[in-house]
Amino acid sequence: MDENFRVGIIGGKGKMGNFFKNFFEKKGYPVEVSDVNTTLTNIELVKRNKIILISVPIEIFPEVVKEISSFVRETHWVIDICSLKNEPVKVMKKFLKKGEILATHPLFGPYEEDLKGKTIAFYPVRGKEIVKWFKNLMSSEGLNLVKISPKKHDEIMALVQVINHFWLILLAKTIKDSGFNLKDLIYLSTPSFLRQLHILKRLAKQDPQLYAKIQLENPLGKKFRNLLCRNCKDLAKAFNSEKAEEEFKKHFILAKKVAEELEILLDKIFPEKI
């Protein structure tokens, strides 16, 4: 590995920062980290490393970018991994006048042991060499790379992340309020419901503060939460009405059509998965 390709991770003591520290080290890259409790400062880290990965909470991201902006040179490659892309890209464009810049969003958490088949979204802000290097590196791990604009990314994340997490919290609250014994619920679960419980159990390892930011900082989150709740209310009213069977069949057929489209697309995009 070329010694000039040193990696510096700002926020390297955090969960995702540490994940990428281990990732780059396994790939043979020298890695240094800076964080609130390190002797190495963000500015010193930038001076010592070519590749700068910024892995900090989105609320302090602008502050960090401003702090290092005067020390980023033409030879630097800067990467962010924020879960939202529109505002971070604007910040990087505004303050980082030199170097190559790549906006990314790993669509997986820090506890993944195998990245094969996982997805990482990216958007080239400036420069071509960083994109070529990044795509080759991530592809070598079996990751799926999706190029997408920051605006479109954030719109889709309002459904993929915001509604997914909202649904899981809603499911957990409904289970809790039902009064059922969890062990009985597990023993009597159908295969499909058991899969949902396995997804829900992943929240046990997650950071409430991080999930709160994902849920509340996406500007389109409110729109999709309200849409979900409106649909829940409408369906409950329909299924409780005198025409319940007719209404159920109508909505089930709609769901089947979506499912049929999903079956075709999922088999095409992820042919190795069931």
pLDDT value at 12 more than 70: yes
pLDDT digits (tens, 9 = 90+) for 86-137: 999 999 999 999 999 999 999 998 989 899 999 999 999 999 999 999 999 9
Helix axis angle for 61-69 and 86-95, nearest 10°, is: 20
- At 273 the pLDDT is 58
In three-state secondary structure terms, 113 is coil
Residues 6+ apart with CB under 8 A from 210: 57
Cα 270 to Cα 274: distance, rounded to the nearest angstrom: 8
List the one residue out of 112, 108, 7, 11 whose CA is nearest residue 58: 11
Report the top-level CATH class of 7-148: alpha beta
Q: Could you tell me the two tokens for 186?
A: 């597990």
Q: What is the largest CA-CA distance in the chain?
A: 73
List the one residue out of 50, 57, 51 whose CA is nearest residue 13: 57
Cα 197 to Cα 255: distance, rounded to the nearest angstrom: 21
Amino acid at 244: A
Range in 131-140, 159-168, 177-186, 261-270 with the lowest mean pLDDT: 261-270
pTM here is 0.87
Q: Could you tell me the two tokens for 101?
A: 């810049």
Across the range 144-160, mean pLDDT stands at 96
Calculate the alpha carbon distances from 30 to 8, 23, 51, 117, 255 in Å.
9, 11, 10, 26, 50
pLDDT digits (tens, 9 = 90+) for 233-252: 999 999 999 999 999 999 99
* Domain residue ranges of the chain, discontinuous segments joined by +: 7-148, 152-240
Whether 153 and 179 have beta carbons less than 8 Å apart is answered as no
List the one residue out of 23, 92, 10 whose CA is nearest residue 52: 10
In three-state secondary structure terms, 126 is strand
Whether 47 and 41 have beta carbons less than 8 Å apart is answered as no
H-helix segments, 49-119: 61-69, 86-95
Query: 198: burial class by Cβ within 10 Å (0-12, 13-18, 19+)?
Result: exposed
pLDDT value at 53 more than 70: yes
Cα 47 to Cα 188: distance, rounded to the nearest angstrom: 59
